[in-house]
Amino acid sequence: MASTEIALPHRHLEDAPAGSGARAGWLRRHGRAAAALVLLAVALFPFLWLVHLAFKPAADLFEDRLLFVPRLDGFRALLQGSFPRSFLNSLAVSTLSTAMSLAIGVPAAYALTRWQFPGRRHVALWILVTRMAPPIAFTIPFFLAYRWLGLQDTLFGLALVYLTFNLAIVIWLMQTFFEAVPTALEEAAYIDGCGVWQAFWRITLPLAAPGVAATAVLCFIFAWNDFFYALILTRTQAVTAPVAIVNFLQYEGWEWSKIAAGGTLVMFPVVVFTVLVRKYLVQGLTAGGVKD
């Protein structure tokens, strides 16, 4: 599986001519790292700018001073209004969606991995397409259906819609992880008289547990980040955080402090999760993207 270490030989070390200046040597040895750090700073600048705006006192927002005493005014302003509730809604929907997707998708992924049946490729392609489809294709029918079913503006309704992409993600990713579990262990269990799912529960699943964790995190992130479905399918009860921020784009004046603070809060769980599970994220986001 894709590890984060490299296989390319170090030509530049072999190349360093003897007796070259210390400076040139340092540059050769650390040039890559230095360039990478500079580029990282450039790439992350927009993100860091938003976060810093969240801590700036509102009066200084349009000033150029880079040094200031950080204040939590922006965050305090967020506490009034419906933002805290929308944050909780986001947490609830993302958790619910992750749980549902895992419950339905993990067994399906296992079955797809171990079971060679005719038409398997077509099923796999269909699952791929569901992940690719643009939200607009689903929102129109879903909106009408939810009106009729009374699922409009409910957390469950949103979690159900999120299955359209999260289920495919779970099946996709877990296939890769299950493939890595040797079948010999399962066969040993079969010999001992275990059924298929007993073996799965006792042997395969514990071995693939890190994969399940990584997949869960990814599902959570995708559900958390959704904007379009939440914009259309929620009103007041089930409003999620990304949509609530749009409320701060006011007619009377953009509330930059609130926008920056809200944006920082909304991105916070996602960034934390990313940092914690980055190794698996790399695996997850590129899974299937590279032919073995």
**Residues from 152 through 191 that contact another protein (CB under 8 A):** 152-153, 160-161, 163-164, 167-168, 171, 175-176, 179, 183-184, 187, 190-191
Q: How far is the CB of 14 from another protein (least distance, A)?
A: 8
Of the residues 92, 111, 207, 212, which one makes contact with another protein according to CB under 8 A? 111
Of the residues 72, 126, 149, 210, which one makes contact with another protein according to CB under 8 A? 126
Q: What single-letter DSSP state applies at residue 133?
A: S
Q: How far is the CB of 71 from another protein (least distance, A)?
A: 18
Evaluate whether 218 touches 286 at the Cβ level (below 8 Å): no
- Helical axes 209-225 vs 83-114, angle rounded to 10°: 140
Helix-then-strand count for the chain, H and E:
15, 0
- Per CB under 8 A, contacts with another protein among 200-219 are none
C-alpha triplet 143, 146, 148: angle, nearest 5°? 115
- Per CB under 8 A, contacts with another protein among 41-70 are 43-44, 46-47, 49-50, 53, 61-62, 64
Answer yes or no whether residue 27 interacts with another protein by CB under 8 A.
no
Answer yes or no whether residue 136 interacts with another protein by CB under 8 A.
yes
Shortest CA distance to 106 belongs to which of 190, 167, 158, 179? 167
Of the residues 16, 22, 40, 205, which one makes contact with another protein according to CB under 8 A? 40
Of the residues 25, 26, 32, 213, which one makes contact with another protein according to CB under 8 A? 32
Q: How far is the CB of 165 from another protein (least distance, A)?
A: 10
Q: How far is the CB of 133 from another protein (least distance, A)?
A: 6
Of the residues 25, 70, 195, 206, which one makes contact with another protein according to CB under 8 A? 195
Residues in the chain: 292
Q: How far is the C-alpha of 154 from the C-alpha of 152, rounded, in Å?
A: 6
Q: How far is the CB of 141 from another protein (least distance, A)?
A: 4
- Per CB under 8 A, contacts with another protein among 241-280 are 242-243, 245-247, 249-254, 256, 259-260, 263, 266-267, 270-271, 273-275, 278
H-helix or E-strand spanning residue 7: none
Extract the tokens encoding 211. 């994969």
Burial 68-105 (b: 16+ CB within 10 A, else e): eeeeebbbebbeeeebeebbebbebbbbbbbebbbeeb
